[in-house]
Structure 1
Amino acid sequence: MADTKREIERKYESDDSGLPDLTGVGGVADVLDKGLVELDATYYDTVDQRLAAAGLTLRRRTGGSDAGWHLKFPVAPGVRDEIRAPLSETVPDEIAALVRSRVRCAELVPVVRLRSGRDVRHLVDAEGTLLAEASVDAVTAERLVGKGGSTQWTEIEVELADDADPAVLDKVDKRLRKAGVRPSKSPSKLARALEQTGGRRPGAGRRAKPVTAGDHVLAYLREQREAILAYDPGVRRDVPDSVHQMRVATRRMRSTFRTFGAVLDPAVTDPIAAELKWLAGELGVDRDQEVLAERLTTALDGLPPDLVLGPVRERLTTWSNAGHGSARDQLIAVLDSARYLALLDTLDAVLADPPLLKKAAGKPEKALAKAVRKDFAKVSRLITEALGLPPGGERDVAVHEARKKAKRTRYAGEAAVPALGGPARSLAKAMKSLTSLLGDHQDSVMARRTLHELSEAAHGEGENAFTYGLLYGREEQRAASVEAELPGLWKEVTSGASV
């Protein structure tokens, strides 16, 4: 079974002088010689190096204390999450699933073999607690695909110990620099091996700065496509907030296709938008359940104990766990489906060869501003209609429709920020505040629906339904409060909108 470790390290160039004395640096009381370790790692990727292009590394390594399969995801400079699985001859299924959104139907093959002689030192404090591990690695790299080739180098690696203060690395860094040691120019051994044995490192190029309206729209769409791919492994691992962030990316992409129909041909993008709506819906089953459970649990926690009559908490927990389990199983099946992988392929294709219309070549200040203003006008109409309705189910539906259009306007503003600057940023911020308020209203609607269902189930089992009714009434009050606040907020939004 795979497990996860947060890896925080710094890499440096090394010469014949090796590792400077680090005693006394950052609380280091002693430097313990742990001897030489021989490591042999084979790195896997697709032939066109899709994992390397995304900054991911997948290896099978023998030697050392952590022999096995290692999949590393970049988190920040010098920080990676490492997923580990036991040693086997082929890529473990749980590891393969985490790179499926990148690999899809391509084959994972050996691309580089790295053999390292690692001279290890443990940096410990006065109590003997490990602060960091420093090593000097003599590396031999052999490329296994393409024209092949090999290279050698020596580097210093300093990795923070579990639960140690990251400030240790900063102090060690200062000492190494003072000794003339310089940081490595490559983010990983694999990146360096690929660059030195086959030319340019995958993913190293930069896109040209957006100029036209089409450039700006495509740049935003590429960001969202990358977000979908980046959050996919987190969704599979049940990482908090990953489902929400992946769902937001699908919504942003779909909204961008809709809003900028004068830039990208809707005849091509509408079917893609429909598939993105399907994916967002599948992601939403688990996310909506999570949000509702948290809202209802918080509300229940806020009640005095004498107002909680019957096994309300137990029933809520059972409902929450059952819903999450079934929704999660369905979601994983979706991410493994041919339909989802086909959607990813389609997104790649449309971004590689976009269906640009005539206005795509125009100045972004004109084309993007016009599209954003059009979306804002739709929000204005829907808000006005909702405020004109009496409280009740019809108004609830109208408020929800206004919220969806406000989200679309927010995303349009975000896409236009690089071209339009402050006005688009202000509009996006205002729409975020509006959707947050309207989202609270919609959450109240869904909470009341769930409370009604739970109360019926409780009543059917002969339980006291008083607490469900109390919570229902409080949710009604929250919705009424939102509706009372909406006119004032909308007035602020309209007075500040100037895209």
Structure 2
Amino acid sequence: MEASRGLEIEKKYDVDAGAVVPDLGQAAGVARTGAPHTDLLEAVYFDTPNHALAARRITLRRRTGGKDAGWHLKLPPRGDQAAGEGPQQRTELHAPLGRPDAVPDALLTHLLAYLRGAVPVPVVRLDTRRTTYPLYGDDGVHLADLADDHVTAERLAGRGNDTRQEWREWELELVHGKPGLFGPVEELLLAAGAKPAGHASKLARALGPGTKAGKRAAGDAAADTPGTTAPALLAGKRAPAAAVVTVYVAQQVDAILAGDSAVRLEEPEAVHNMRSATRRIRSVLAAYAKLYRAAPVRKLRTELKWLGQLLGQPRDAEVLRAQLRGQLGALQSADGVETATAKVEQRTDADYDAAYRLLQEALGTERYFRLLDTLEEFRDNPPVRADSVAPGRRAAAKAVDKAAKRLQRSRKAAKRARRGREQELALHRVRKDAKRLRHVAESAVLVHGKRAGKVAKAAHRQQKVLGQHQDAVVARDLLAAIAAEYGEPATAGIYAELLSLQEERMAAAQAAYRKAWKKSRDLFSRGVL
């Protein structure tokens, strides 16, 4: 069964036991407060013994009582929002109660990249007496809920003398209201004795601030990974070069982890997005290699290449299948098109299914999980060489210039290449080098701004049109193989027409590439940044 999905936008407040809930109908934008109702909730939180989920600000619980009984999975906020002091936005997934000791597969799929082979077990139980005050607008719209929670928490793993805690908190969560509602309501709450919560979740408080997981779950800035706070790392013009890489790599690591479940569920564009993130990391590691100790970077790039190849096979098969389906669809009235379509779809479907099966198997291996460990370790503790002290702006400019020169060399080699397979391979190399320049320039945007952005866009234009050229080359080779294997006279004309179309697409892509190069020639003819 598929999990239901929602967006939770809330803000928490610590409050003393004797505080009185104010009349929130006095807040600007709130017309009235509805009748309060009380629920008794019991929630059991699941995690690994070393709190791998809590350390990443992920909450998994099974709750009984109240209107939303069931399994709940809350995924962490991403980017700058994760480090902010405003309302927290988190994706929340729900599944029915089911068995109390078995996490539903619909939720477990989203956790495999974080569990990495570990089995989640009960770690905390919370008993909450919750009184909910609904807030309504002039038009009767249910804007938000204020929950007045009296909480008793007990740690179930790592028992000691302080496993039981009690506290009270207020939680303001939007229903159909806008984030601007938080300000007026907060004024009344603070006046009643509340103060912004010192924890991001009840689980964080139950785990305790002394644990690393508790700090991470609470959003403690000191416990956050370096890659999550780009402004702090890149403040000032003298930010170190390694900080540029750390911030960029952290963004891609987030994309890989977030995209893992989407790939497992075969969501549209999921493989493409995850593959792009792996390529981006490989590109910047190659471009900034001198900043780091050689062995860790070499190992990481090797493992990323392995993952990228696994992602590339189903993605390439997917693109080829869609491309040929469209071309065959345009020939609907031609004789033999149904037979040709069946043969092409049989081959492309088989290639896609086989590649995706291999990818799914790889995502459950120890090798993949260790790669995720290595990526997070690189992000959190980069293996920077002791003598790597170059300012980020200078190092980024040098890396972009080097990548641009590499692209110019491959362009000249392609011009000298003989027509046919030699030229096709040379243009494929140009495409790869354009892609590397694009990624390196993207990293430089963090310190060079719009100028680096222009370089990235120019490189992307070249990469895109040469990608169309490569797609046509691959389609041509596959069609030739199918035509040779299934040489029915009725389909010969269809394959000949499709093969001719690929040659036309290749020629058009080459013309578009020359145009894109001329457009960016001045940009690349001197020091790029």
Shorter-chain TM-score bucket reads 0.7 to 0.9
- In 1: Cα distance, 2:36 partner to 2:438 partner: 56
Q: For residue 16 of structure 1, what is the amino acid of its counterpart?
A: V
- In 1: Cα distance, 2:428 partner to 2:416 partner: 14
Aligned residue in 2 for 1:104: 116
Residue aligned with 1:412, SS = helix
- The answer as to 2:21 corresponding to 1:17 is yes
- In 2: Cα distance, 1:58 partner to 1:169 partner: 27
- Pick which of 286-295 and 397-406 moved more: 286-295
Whether contact under 8 Å (2:33, 2:134) holds in the other structure is yes
Q: For residue 220 of structure 2, what is the amino acid of its counterpart?
A: A
- In 1: Cα distance, 2:381 partner to 2:209 partner: 31
Residue 440 of structure 1: CA displacement? 1.4
Residue 216 of structure 1: CA displacement? 2.3
Aligned residue in 2 for 1:480: 507
Whether contact under 8 Å (1:414, 1:425) holds in the other structure is yes
- In 2: Cα distance, 1:183 partner to 1:170 partner: 18
Unpaired segments ≥5 residues, structure 2: 79-87, 227-231
How many correspondences in the alignment? 488
Aligned residue in 1 for 2:95: 84
Aligned residue in 2 for 1:163: none
Cα deviations across residues 434-460 of structure 1 (Å, max 9, x unaligned)?
111211111121222333344456545
Aligned residue in 2 for 1:6: 6
Aligned residue in 2 for 1:209: 233
Aligned residue in 2 for 1:190: 203
- In 1: Cα distance, 2:341 partner to 2:138 partner: 49
Whether contact under 8 Å (2:43, 2:62) holds in the other structure is yes
Using the size of structure 1 for normalisation, the TM-score is 0.83
Whether contact under 8 Å (1:120, 1:133) holds in the other structure is no
Q: For residue 62 of structure 2, what is the amino acid of its counterpart?
A: R
Residue aligned with 1:61, SS = strand
- In 2: Cα distance, 1:171 partner to 1:359 partner: 49
- In 2: Cα distance, 1:324 partner to 1:155 partner: 51
- In 2: Cα distance, 1:455 partner to 1:317 partner: 13
Residue 404 of structure 1: CA displacement? 0.9
- In 2: Cα distance, 1:453 partner to 1:141 partner: 68
Closer, same or farther: CA 55–467 of 1 in aligned 2, 3 Å? farther
Unpaired segments ≥5 residues, structure 1: 161-165
Aligned residue in 2 for 1:59: 61
Q: Percent identity?
A: 30
Q: Equivalent of 1:387, from 393, 397, 415? A: 415
Cα deviations across residues 124-181 of structure 1 (Å, max 9, x unaligned)?
99999x9677463424141515653523224345454xxxxx5x44586587468658
Whether contact under 8 Å (2:57, 2:216) holds in the other structure is no
Closer, same or farther: CA 266–363 of 1 in aligned 2, 3 Å? same
Cα deviations across residues 443-479 of structure 1 (Å, max 9, x unaligned)?
121222333344456545x753433433332222121
Using the size of structure 2 for normalisation, the TM-score is 0.79
- In 2: Cα distance, 1:431 partner to 1:313 partner: 36
Q: Equivalent of 1:151, from 162, 166, 170? A: 166
Residue 393 of structure 1: CA displacement? 1.9
Aligned residue in 2 for 1:69: 71
Closer, same or farther: CA 387–175 of 1 in aligned 2, 3 Å? same
Residue aligned with 2:333, SS = helix
- In 2: Cα distance, 1:32 partner to 1:307 partner: 68
Aligned residue in 2 for 1:281: 309
- In 1: Cα distance, 2:22 partner to 2:127 partner: 18
Residue 390 of structure 1: CA displacement? 4.2
- In 1: Cα distance, 2:53 partner to 2:100 partner: 20
- In 1: Cα distance, 2:64 partner to 2:188 partner: 33
Aligned counterparts, 1:411-490, within 5 A: 411-456=439-484, 459=487, 464-490=491-517
Aligned residue in 1 for 2:229: none
Aligned residue in 2 for 1:117: 129
Q: Equivalent of 1:257, from 266, 276, 285? A: 285
Q: Equivalent of 2:519, from 487, 492, 499? A: 492
Residue aligned with 1:361, SS = coil
Q: For residue 148 of structure 1, what is the amino acid of its counterpart?
A: T
- Pick which of 399-408 and 182-191 moved more: 182-191
- In 2: Cα distance, 1:315 partner to 1:118 partner: 62
Q: Equivalent of 2:319, from 291, 298, 303? A: 291
Aligned residue in 1 for 2:83: none
Residue 338 of structure 1: CA displacement? 1.2
Closer, same or farther: CA 192–17 of 1 in aligned 2, 3 Å? same
Q: For residue 489 of structure 1, what is the amino acid of its counterpart?
A: A
Closer, same or farther: CA 399–127 of 1 in aligned 2, 3 Å? same
Whether contact under 8 Å (1:114, 1:140) holds in the other structure is yes
Closer, same or farther: CA 9–370 of 1 in aligned 2, 3 Å? closer
Aligned residue in 1 for 2:40: 38
Residue 287 of structure 1: CA displacement? 1.4
Cα deviations across residues 217-258 of structure 1 (Å, max 9, x unaligned)?
233233323332222122122222222121112111222222
